[in-house]
Amino acid sequence: MEVDSYSDDEIRQILSLRNVAVVGMSKNADKAAHYVPKYLLAQGYNVVPVNPTADEILERKCFSSLQDVDQSIDIVDVFRPSDQVIPVVQEAIKKKPKVIWLQEGIHNPEAEDMARKAGIKIIFNRCMLAEHQRLF
Is pTM, for the whole model, over 0.95?
yes
Q: What is the pLDDT of residues 61-77, one digit of tens each?
A: 999 999 999 999 999 99
Closest CA to 24 of 55, 51, 44: 51
Residue 1 lies in a domain: no
- Residue 3 counted as domain residue: no
Provide the pLDDT for residue 1: 82
54 contacts: CB under 8 Å, gap ≥ 6:
25, 27, 62
Q: How far apart are CA 136 and CA 129, in angstroms?
A: 10
Q: Distance from CA of residue 25 to its chain's centroid?
A: 9
Q: Is residue 2 part of a domain?
A: no
Position 30 in a domain? yes
- Does the pLDDT of residue 114 top 90, yes or no? yes
* Residue 5 CB contacts under 8 Å (≥ 6 apart), including other chains: none
Question: Residue 45's domain spans which residues?
Answer: 8-135
The conformational region for residue 96 under phi > 0 = left, psi -120 to 50 = alpha, else beta, is left
CATH number assigned to the domain comprising residue 97: 3.40.50.720
57 part of a folded domain: yes
Q: What's the total number of domains in the chain?
A: 1
